[in-house]
């Protein structure tokens, strides 16, 4: 029998009935849905990933300037979850395998970020596949990786419902939980958790009793009940989070004690339907993976939303955005992982297929 959370997870994994009617587009980045201005920039192919990487997702820059890519590999769960390294010359190599959870026999790394000591912090989202044994088994891990292998695995927190995105900031770990079904509400509740980088083995209850639950959000769009996903900090230390189902960005400020001082709606636009992974550049522009729309948006420091690139349903082989999951800025380029996994009437994407790809957008052209 499916549980309540199991049903919610499958809703996002293909049965999420968002109300917008899809208009299929012709070409890559040239035309858009009726009534929307076509983006001026096209994405292009950065690389085709090997068969061991069927589901690329979160990314982070290591201290040497390499991109580390998390591959939870939901598209083929017979394959182990991996981290891949992309150097500055776009050479791809195996960084490490992600340590599995003994109870489930697998790992599900989504959001990742590096700490100041070079440790890799990981959202191990055991709940995403929707299997009963993974319910409330998510972990926050700190991995010490040397020579292509994990030398040490430390558990920061465990028992989490749906940890998704993570950022390290001033000695703290900020983690989005996209689903908090134990908190009863008409609308889905999600939230941001905050842990200290030195925390270990913190038991999470996934409800208001958690002292690490920093702030809660509700997803108002009843046709797409999926909550907080991407997060990023600006140069002033303000936290920005995306509410996936509502397609909104929110700005959270802090007082001198580190407590939440304000939480305001920062950006919402008909040009941005969903907010998956997000990242920030040095000028405080925010880049958003519009997962359902096969698009990437740019949000200015004033909250103005523009579409950088948008693709029709495609396999990504020609550089199209094949369900973008997360962006990362590298110099004058925006690298985008193509998750290519979730389908449904609200998604441009219609199936999981080869090749497995990363796309790139030239920011000098935006």
Q: What is the CATH number of the domain that holds 281?
A: 2.120.10.30
* Whole-number Å distance between alpha carbons of 81 and 78: 9
- The average confidence (pLDDT) of the chain is 91
Is residue 167 exposed (0-12), middle (13-18) or buried (19+ Cβ within 10 Å)? buried
Query: Looking up tokens 């509400």, which residue turns up?
Result: 185
Half-sphere exposure of 361 (CA within 13 A, CB side): 33
pLDDT per residue as tens digits for the range 282-325: 999 999 999 999 999 999 999 999 999 999 999 999 999 999 99
How far is the CA of 323 from the CAs of 53, 143, 252, in angstroms? Answer: 15, 28, 27
pLDDT per residue as tens digits for the range 121-164: 999 999 999 999 999 999 999 999 999 999 999 999 999 999 99
Do 286 and 238 touch, CB atoms closer than 8 A?
no
Number of domains the chain is built from: 1
pLDDT of residue 364: 80
Do 231 and 240 touch, CB atoms closer than 8 A?
yes
Q: What phi, psi does 27 have (nearest 5°)?
A: 85, 170
Share of the chain above pLDDT 90, in %: 88
pLDDT at 4 over 60: no
Query: Looking up tokens 């020609």, which residue turns up?
Result: 318
The domain of 56 spans 4-365
pLDDT at 9 over 50: no
Work out the pLDDT band at 36, boundaries 50, 70, 90: low
pLDDT per residue as tens digits for the range 212-256: 999 999 999 999 999 999 999 999 999 999 999 999 999 999 999
Q: pTM score, two decimals?
A: 0.91
Q: What is the mean pLDDT of residues 270-289?
A: 98
Convert 90-121 to b/e letters by CB count within 10 Å (16 or more is b).
Answer: eebeebbbbbebeeeebbbbbbbbeeeeebbb
């Amino acid at each position: 029998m499916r549980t309540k959370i199991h049903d919610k997870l499958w809703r996002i994994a293909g049965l999420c009935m968002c109300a917008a009617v899809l208009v299929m587009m012709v070409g890559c980045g040239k035309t858009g849905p009726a009534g929307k201005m076509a983006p001026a920039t096209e994405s292009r192919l950065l690389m085709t990933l090997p068969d061991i990487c069927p589901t690329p997702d979160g990314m982070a820059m290591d201290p040497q300037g390499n991109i580390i890519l998390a591959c939870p590999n939901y598209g083929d769960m017979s394959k182990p979850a991996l981290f891949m390294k992309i150097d500055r010359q776009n050479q791809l190599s195996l960084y490490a395998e992600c340590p599995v959870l003994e109870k489930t026999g697998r790992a599900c790394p989504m959001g990742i970020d590096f700490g100041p000591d070079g440790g890799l912090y990981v959202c191990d989202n055991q709940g995403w596949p929707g299997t009963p044994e993974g319910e409330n088994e998510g972990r926050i891990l700190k991995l010490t990786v040397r020579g292509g292998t994990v030398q040490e695995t430390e558990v920061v927190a465990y028992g989490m419902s749906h940890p998704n995105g993570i950022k390290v900031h001033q000695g703290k770990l900020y983690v989005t939980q996209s689903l908090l079904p134990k908190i009863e509400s008409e609308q889905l509740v999600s939230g941001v958790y905050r842990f200290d980088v030195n925390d270990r083995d913190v038991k999470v209850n996934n409800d208001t009793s958690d002292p690490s639950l920093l702030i809660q959000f509700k997803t108002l769009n009843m046709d797409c009940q999926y909550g907080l996903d991407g997060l990023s900090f600006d140069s002033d230390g303000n936290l920005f989070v995306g509410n996936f189902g509502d397609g909104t960005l929110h700005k959270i400020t802090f007082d001198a004690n580190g407590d939440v001082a304000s939480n305001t709606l920062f950006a919402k636009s008909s040009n941005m339907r969903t907010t998956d992974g997000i990242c920030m550049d040095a000028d405080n522009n925010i880049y958003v993976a519009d997962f359902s729309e096969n698009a990437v948006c740019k949000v200015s420091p004033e909250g103005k939303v523009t579409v950088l690139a948008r693709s029709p349903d495609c396999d990504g082989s020609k550089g199209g955005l094949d369900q973008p999951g997360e962006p990362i800025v590298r110099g004058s380029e925006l690298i985008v992982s193509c998750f290519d996994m979730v389908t449904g009437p609200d998604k441009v994407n219609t199936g999981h297929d080869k090749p497995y790809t990363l796309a790139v957008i030239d920011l000098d052209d935006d």
